[in-house]
Chains A and B, each alone.
Chain A
Amino acid sequence: MNRISSRHILSISDLMHQDIELILDTADSLKEILARPIKKVPPLRGRTVVNLFFEPSTRTRLSFELAAKRLSADTVSVAAAASSVVKGETLIDTARNVEAMRPDVIVLRHSCSGAPHLMANYVKTAAVINAGDGMNEHPTQALLDLFTVKEHFGRLSGLKVAIIGDIAHSRVAHSDILAFTKMGADVFVSGAATMFPVMIETMGARVVPRPEEAIEGADVVMALRIQKERQGGRSLIPSVREYAAVFGLTSERMRLAKPGAVVMHPGPINRGVEMAPELADGPYSVILDQVTNGVAVRMAILSLILPEDHLTSL
């Protein structure tokens, strides 16, 4: 089996085009396992995956746990307090202590951007997978988004992808912009002007102030979760009401999209804010497919990131 070129999965930018192709193809072949009555295969038997979650998460943590279990790996999940300074033990100490117990993979979710990169600099043998760091990246989410879109359309290249929401503070948006543009899609972002990080164009996204312009002719429309309080107690928007009125994804706005377009959301959804209630469950929605595919994509990543001699056959 081919391997991916990067030892850790920290950022989409560390992955080459063919790495992403390989992950998506592998996920495609593994997804079938999830439909079996006995959803377990042996390739990671005897391997250990530690999920270190310094930030609350239900979906991502469950997804990683199930992915590891489906491949027969042993998994342990730890929910830790967020601030290393307050706890007295630094992230590096934690990493070294966890690694001393010889896990093969450490899956890290942390509220600080760059925390997985820091950890990767100090672990010697384990592979580190970024399960979301601050407002930086969430690469496995982007990979499952790619998978879901490719599964639906049969391709990624040439598609128009609209992402609507708080781009500046969304690690999902950050990874999705990098991932979709790398695979040849055109990414348009929209949201309140306070929600764009400076020079976002350098990441490959087109910024449009009106959501209609982003949605028009789009194949994929993704809404991001809106939270009111951001940035030192200052809200980026006057009210959720105004946001919903101007940027909320509605059936009417979706009519601007290309026929057959899909609606995505990284979850959890604030129904009635960034997305009209009927859309999430409507015919456009692939939101639950995203969740299912998350397990398959994470299975693919786990099986590709371990050194080959560690694997028994699928």
Chain B
Amino acid sequence: MRPIFLQNARILDPSCDMDEKGHILVVDGKIAGTGGGIAAPEDAVSIDLHGLWAAPGLIDMHVHLREPGEEYKETIETGTAAAAAGGFSAVACMPNTNPVNDSSAVTRFIIERARATGSAKVYPVAAVTKGLKGEELAEFQDLMLAGAIAFSDDGNPVSDPGMMRLALQYATGFGALLISHAEERGLSRGRFLNEGRVSTMLGLSGIPSAAEDIAVFRDVRLAEFVGARLHVAHVSTKGTVDIIREAKAKGVKVTAETAPHYFSLTEDAVIGYNTNAKMNPPLRREEDRLAIIEGLMDCTIDAIATDHAPHSRLEKEIEFELAANGIIGLETAVPLALELFRQSFLSPLDVIRCLSSNPAGILRVKGGSLKAGGDADICVIDPEAEFSVTRENLRSRSCNTPFLGKVLKGRAVLTLLDGLPVHNLLGVVF
């Protein structure tokens, strides 16, 4: 394989706070050097990246790849192809597959399928409880040995606080990370969107913000009490941001992610019974959206993760109340996150930090850096490129997104995985 020389890019490496014009040299799938003072070997493929950004391969710490079990929605192959197209070189996939990833056999299956068919690194998140039922702990040690990098019952909360306490406590023995899908079902069951002006207007039962706030508060207190590491998934409310901010100030080992839709959209997107804007937690009010942006600005929220949740027409082209929760997000994350930069909320480096080095640090996986010696997982972004979100342009097997039909600005134009191009819009032949 010929060396690759990426030159004249705006280099954004949040692992060392680098934001400067320079070059990256890739040799044998590894980064051989980054900066201004390096030169191209004679046999290198040289690519001029003038006007473009070069960043570590993005890491999405919350996706649903649907394999095994729901391959008609997505597979590890199509999901990681979507990841590559969105600039992601690694994803952490949630365990609510069929069968559930609550055993080392399923974890190994996912890792093997990713190796055979994937275009991105795949880090399985295993179940906290067997069958996601919230009754019995899954085998953490066995799952970690098989390759699980964190535990979550995502899709479901761990409803019983006693069980959540046990899980957090058990996890401390392994230094394992628990990812909380925080939802008080007693307040959300049989409800379909945010409780507020829009739920009243549409005549649908709404989920109050308190359903999330209460569950986050519970899990944060439990993590504090037993000294465990807790990561709060898909933050959607102002209340959650406040609780996490306060917990971090007290030194609780808590981290948090939000998804692009929570800082891009509000409950208004549901008007017209738009099932492509139905997800759990639901889109909230404008003041929640602004609080989430504030949370990203002051690092209360560490990561941007997409909660990529593919569904077919069978689950979405039906009555709103019956439609499945979730939207795809891998291919729209970059332009939506760049909007935070365009509106001067975050610097380009901080946008990339939320999408790479922070999730790497939380999950304790490699990547999120352009330092010499690391895997050549690199994402090149054209901040000006336009991306028309259509069924044909999406590489995911599903197209359930409220951005369908929209033109978004900013796009990954090249994704390298271990030095190999897995997504390439630059027209360069390697």
Which one, B190, B195, B203, B272, contacts A137 given CB within 8 A? Answer: B203
Give complex CA distance A29, B4 in Å: 82
A135 is an interface residue with CB less than 8 A from chain B: yes
Give CA–CA (A92, B275) in the complex, Å.
14
CB-CB under 8 A from B322, the residues of chain A are 83-85, 112
Q: B189 near A: Cβ within 8 Å?
A: yes
Partner-contacting stretch, out of B312-320, B344-352, B393-401? B312-320
Q: Are the C-beta atoms of A200 and B318 separated by less than 8 Å?
A: no
B404 CB to closest chain A CB, in angstroms?
Answer: 14
A92–B317 contact, CB under 8 A?
A: yes
Q: Does B204 contact A (CB under 8 A)?
A: yes
Is B200 an interface residue, CB under 8 A from the partner? yes
CB <8 Å contact, A202 and B200: yes
CB under 8 Å from chain A, chain B span 243-286: 272-273
Of B200, B201, B205, B318, the contact of A231 (CB 8 Å cutoff): B205
- Write out the residue numbers on chain A whose beta carbons fall within 8 Å of the beta carbon of B335: none
Enumerate chain A residues within 8 angstroms of B320, measured Cβ to Cβ. Answer: 112-114, 118
Binary CB contact string for chain A from 197 to 218 against chain B (1 if under 8 A, 0 otherwise): 1111011000000000000000
Does residue A104 face the partner (Cβ distance < 8 Å to B)? no
- Chain B residues contacting A112 (CB-CB under 8 Å) are 319-322
Do A136 and B318 touch (CB < 8 A)? no
Is the C-beta of A154 less than 8 angstroms from some C-beta in chain B?
Answer: no
Q: Which residues of A contact B321 (CB under 8 A)?
A: 112-114, 134
**Distance from B197 Cβ to chain A, minimum over Cβ atoms (Å):** 5
Q: Cβ of A8 < 8 Å from any Cβ of B?
A: no
Name the A residues within 8 Å of B374 (CB-CB): none
Contacts of B203 in A (CB 8 A): 113-114, 133-137, 171, 174
Judging by beta carbons under 8 Å apart, are A231 and B190 in contact?
yes
- Do A134 and B199 touch (CB < 8 A)? no
Contacts of B202 in A (CB 8 A): 113-114, 136
Is A68 engaged at the interface, CB distance under 8 Å to the other chain? no
Residues of B within 8 A of A231 (CB): 190, 205
Query: Are A118 and B199 in touch, CB under 8 angstroms?
Result: no
Max chain B C-beta neighbours (<10 A), residue from A133, A198, A200: A198
Give, as a whole number of angstroms, the nearest-CB distance from A130 to chain B.
Answer: 11
Residues of A within 8 A of B206 (CB): 198
Of the candidates B190, B196, B197, B204, which one forms a contact with A232 in the assembled complex, judged by CB atoms under 8 Å apart? Answer: B190
Q: Which residues of A contact B319 (CB under 8 A)?
A: 84, 91, 110, 112, 114-115, 118
Q: Which residue of the partner chain A has the closest CB to B314? A: A90
**Could you mark each residue 181-204 of chain B with 1 if its beta carbon is under 8 Å from any beta carbon of chain A, else 0?**
000000001100001110111111
What is the 8 Å Cβ interface bit string for chain B, positions 30-59, against chain A (1 contact, 0 not)?
A: 000000000000000000000000000000
Residue A182 interfacial (CB < 8 Å): no
Q: Complex: how many Å from CA A133 to CA B321?
A: 12
Against B, the Cβ 8 Å flags (1 = close, 0 = not) of A4-37 are 0000000000000000000000000000000000
Asked if A117 is at the interface of the complex by the 8 Å CB criterion, the answer is yes
Across the interface, name the chain A residue whose C-beta is closest to B189: A232
Pair B317/A136 contact, Cβ less than 8 Å: no
Contacting residue for A84 out of B204, B273, B318, CB 8 A: B318
Task: Say yes or no: B318 contacts A90, CB within 8 Å.
Answer: yes
In contact, A92 and B200 (Cβ under 8 angstroms): no
Complex: A231 Cα to B53 Cα, angstroms: 52
Interface core residue of A83, A134, A200 (most chain B CB under 10 Å): A134
Q: Which residue of the partner chain, among A85, A133, A135, A198, contacts B318 with CB atoms under 8 Å?
A: A85
Question: What B residues does A83 contact at CB under 8 A?
Answer: 322
Size bracket, chain B contacts: 20 to 34
In the complex, residue of chain B having the shortest beta-carbon distance to the beta carbon of A138: B203
Which residue of chain A has its CB nearest to the CB of B208? A198
Q: How many whole Å from B250's CB to the nearest CB in chain A?
A: 32
Q: Which residues of chain A in 89-113 are interfacial with respect to chain B, using CB atoms and an 8 Å cutoff? A: 90-92, 110, 112-113
Interface residue ranges of B186-243 to A (CB < 8 Å):
189-190, 195-197, 199-206
> Chain B residue with minimal CB distance to A175?
B203
Which chain B residues border A92 with CB–CB below 8 Å? 317-318
Chain B residues near A134 (CB-CB < 8 A): 203-204, 321
User: CA separation between A133 and B322, bound complex, in Å?
Assistant: 14
Partner of B200, one of A90, A110, A197: A197
For B314, list chain A residues within 8 Å (CB): 90
B residues in contact with A202, CB < 8 Å: 197, 200-201
Q: Name the distance in Å between A6's Cβ and chain B's nearest Cβ.
A: 14
Which single residue of chain A is at the shortest CB-CB distance from B194?
Answer: A198
A118 to B273, CA, bound (A): 8
User: With the chains together, A174 CA to B321 CA distance in Å?
Assistant: 18
Q: How does the 8 Å CB contact mask read for B137-155 relative to A, with 1 for contact and 0 for none?
A: 0000000000000000000
Report the nearest A residue to B197, measured CB to CB: A199
Contact of A118 among B190, B195, B205, B318 (CB under 8 A): B318
Q: A198, B200: Cβ atoms under 8 Å?
A: yes
A56 to chain B, nearest CB (A): 18
How many Å lie between the Cα of A232 and that of B191 in the bound state? 9
Taking the closest CB of chain B, its distance from the CB of A52, in whole angstroms, is 14
Residue of B nearest to A83 (CB): B322
Q: How far is the CB of A182 from chain B (nearest CB, A)?
A: 14
Q: Indicate with 1 or 0, residue by residue over A247-258, a CB within 8 angstroms of chain B CB atoms.
A: 000000000000
With A198-B199, A199-B197 as contacts: A113 and B318 at CB distance below 8 Å: no
For chain A, residues 109 to 129, give those with C-beta under 8 angstroms from any C-beta of chain B.
110, 112-115, 117-118
Residue of A nearest to B322 (CB): A85
Neighbouring B residues of A200 by C-beta, 8 Å:
200
A114 touches B204 (CB 8 A): yes
Binding site for A on B (CB under 8 A): 189-190, 195-197, 199-206, 272-273, 314, 317-322
User: A-B pairs with the 7 shortest C-beta distances?
Assistant: A136-B203, A114-B273, A112-B319, A197-B200, A113-B203, A199-B197, A135-B203
Known: A114-B319, A134-B204, A174-B203. 11 other contacts (CB 8 A): A84-B319, A90-B318, A91-B319, A92-B318, A110-B319, A113-B202, A118-B318, A118-B320, A136-B202, A198-B200, A231-B190
List, sorted by A's number, 27 A–B pairs whose CB atoms are closer than 8 Å.
Answer: A85-B322, A90-B318, A92-B317, A110-B319, A112-B319, A112-B320, A113-B273, A113-B321, A114-B203, A114-B273, A114-B319, A115-B319, A117-B272, A117-B273, A118-B319, A135-B204, A135-B205, A136-B203, A171-B203, A197-B199, A198-B199, A198-B200, A199-B197, A199-B200, A200-B200, A202-B200, A203-B200
